[in-house]
Amino acid sequence: MEKEKDNIEFDASGVGVPNGRYFGMPFSNEECPVVLVSVPWDATVSYSDGTARGPEAIIDASIQVDLYDEKTEGSDSFKIGTDDTLIDLGEGEGQVRASEYIKALSSDCRQKACRIIDSLSEGKELDSELLKLQSEVNRSSEAVNYLVEQICAGYLSQGKIPGVVGGEHSVTFGAVKAAAASLPEGRKLGVLQFDAHADLRNAYEGFEHSHASIMFNILSKIGNIGHLTQVGIRDFCADEHDTIRREGRISAFTDCQTEESLAQGETWDSICSRIVDTLPEDVYISFDIDGLDPSLCPNTGTPVPGGLGFQQAVYLLRKVASQRNIVGFDLCEVAPGENEWDANVGARLLHKMALFATLTKKK
């Protein structure tokens, strides 16, 4: 009876009511085809931190999002859940929400990581104490990845689509691993990456699960990745560019190449079709918000001039959903500033991603 009561009371066209859940939706996760998982982790950020506050800021901003999509019938009736996983702290300390546990762990590890990053930026070798701290950060990163993997695997086993909300981009690893493992034997997973950066560095700054290493780790440590397609990248080193050209599983639609194609008369629809054509049937979408023009996300950790417009990104996401099977997704690197702008944009992008993922389940 409680579920029926919640459903009657929720008015998608009415005033948003804060309840600690994404978009103020009161539905139980059992009712929702998509469940959003907050992962407030930003220990290895190499420039500006703050992305650990992203999930909470997006939840706060999301109640202002109109849930109607003009091209999707019944879009404002689609149900989106919010993960409420509890973990046992052991030794009689009780239980805590997974997101709160990750947030506390991130705060501790960020202090350790800053000491390491500061030392490296001064050109110093890491002493034994800093090497110990580096090892501790790496172990904690692995623990977070494992926790995210287990949470996402649980939802996938229930036939749901998990959507991870970061935090820094490294939190993607566990979600992709769970998505890849959920596929039938012989099926390959495609990863569509929206990003300003290639994220193909190996253990950047000594952090094995650095935000700058996420796609390197996905390709090298997860067995059945069929293809990685990168969109919007415009800030990468020579070694990463060599990897892109050498690794047969990568298709990079760099910002430079895309702008040249548009300037020469190719339509965005045609470019999007070429992007989709590189992907296998099953797709995981990883969206680092710095893939957008930085006017849309000025407080993200490593903003870069250029990038996609909001509607360009939505157009491509919609096209992917119409032609491929979305098995998981994430939105990372949203860092709230003094106002709600970044979270406002992030909340609207997150809603589109959840909406389009739901559509793939309806096909």
- Nearest-angstrom CA–CA distance, 215 and 49: 20
Residue 8 has pLDDT above 60, yes or no: no
Strand order in the sheet with 250-253: 80-82, 34-39, 161-166, 325-332, 282-288, 189-194, 225-231, 250-253
Cβ neighbours for 322, distance < 8 A, ≥ 6 positions apart = 359
pLDDT at 362: 66
Evaluate whether 138 touches 209 at the Cβ level (below 8 Å).
yes
pLDDT at 3 over 50: no
Weakest-pLDDT range from 113-122, 130-139, 315-324: 113-122
Q: Per-residue confidence at 105, pLDDT binned at 50, 70, 90?
A: very high
- Which of 157-166, 189-198, 271-280, 354-363 comes out lowest in average pLDDT? 354-363
For residues 157-177, give the mean pLDDT: 96
**Which region among 75-84, 102-111, 173-182 has the lowest average model confidence (pLDDT)?**
102-111
Give the dihedral of Cα atoms 176, 177, 181, 185; nearest 10 deg.
80
Reported as a single tens digit per residue, the pLDDT across 310-329 is: 999 999 999 999 999 999 99
In eight-state DSSP terms, residue 126 is P
Indicate the CATH number of 2-362 among 3.40.1160.10, 3.40.50.300, 3.40.1110.10, 3.40.800.10. Answer: 3.40.800.10
Average pLDDT of the residues in 37-45: 91
Alpha carbons 363 and 357: distance in angstroms, whole number: 11
Local confidence band at 300 (pLDDT 50, 70, 90 cut-offs): very high
> Residue 317 phi/psi, 5° resolution?
-60, -40
Position 363 scores a pLDDT of 62
Q: How is the chain split into domains, by residue range?
A: 2-362
Percent of the chain with pLDDT over 90: 79
Residue 46 pLDDT greater than 80, yes or no: no
Mean pLDDT of the chain: 93
At 4, is the pLDDT very low, low, confident or very high (cuts 50, 70, 90)?
A: very low
In the block, residue with structure tokens 């239980």: 95
Report how far Cα 220 is from the mean position of its chain's Cα atoms: 19
Spatial separation of the C-alpha atoms in residues 208 and 173, rounded to whole Å: 12
Higher pLDDT, 150 or 91: 150
- φ/ψ of residue 148, rounded to 5: -60, -40
User: pLDDT at position 91, please?
Assistant: 78
DSSP SS3 for 61: helix
pLDDT at 204: 78
Higher pLDDT, 44 or 248: 248
Instruction: Return the residue matching tokens 């110990």.
Output: 132
Helix-helix angle 268-277:255-263, to 10 degrees: 140
Taking the C-alpha atoms of residue 203 and residue 138, their distance in angstroms, rounded to an integer, is 10
Q: Give, to the nearest 10 degrees, the angle between helix 172-181 and helix 128-157.
A: 40
Least confident of 81-95, 225-239, 275-289: 81-95
The answer to whether 152 and 162 have CB atoms below 8 angstroms apart is yes
Q: Name the least confident of 148-152, 250-254, 316-320, 333-337.
A: 333-337
Mean pLDDT for the stretch of residues 95-101: 95
Measured torsion, CA atoms of residues 255, 220, 282, 334, in degrees rounded to the nearest 10: -50
CB 168 within 8 A of CB 43: yes
Q: Tell me the torsion sign for CA atoms 316, 317, 323, 328.
A: positive
pLDDT band, very low/low/confident/very high, at 43 (cuts 50, 70, 90): confident
E strands within the chain? 34-39, 80-82, 86-88, 95-97, 161-166, 189-194, 225-231, 250-253, 282-288, 325-332
pTM exceeds cut of 0.75? yes
Average pLDDT of 59-79? Answer: 94
On the question of pLDDT at 182 being above 60, the answer is yes
Q: What average pLDDT does the segment 119-148 reach?
A: 90
15-19, 114-118, 235-239: which is most confident: 235-239
Summarize the confidence of residues 267-284 as an average pLDDT.
Answer: 98
Give me the mean pLDDT over the 160-182 stretch.
Answer: 96
- List, in order, residues 6 or more apart from 328 with CB less than 8 Å away: 152, 156, 161, 162, 163, 164, 175, 176, 178, 179, 284, 285
CB neighbours (10 Å) of residue 136? 14
Q: What is the DSSP string of 284-309?
A: EEEEEGGGB-TTS-TTSSS--S--B-
How many whole angstroms separate alpha carbon 35 and alpha carbon 14? 22
Three-state DSSP at 345 gives helix
Counting residues of the chain whose pLDDT is more than 70, the rounded percentage is: 96
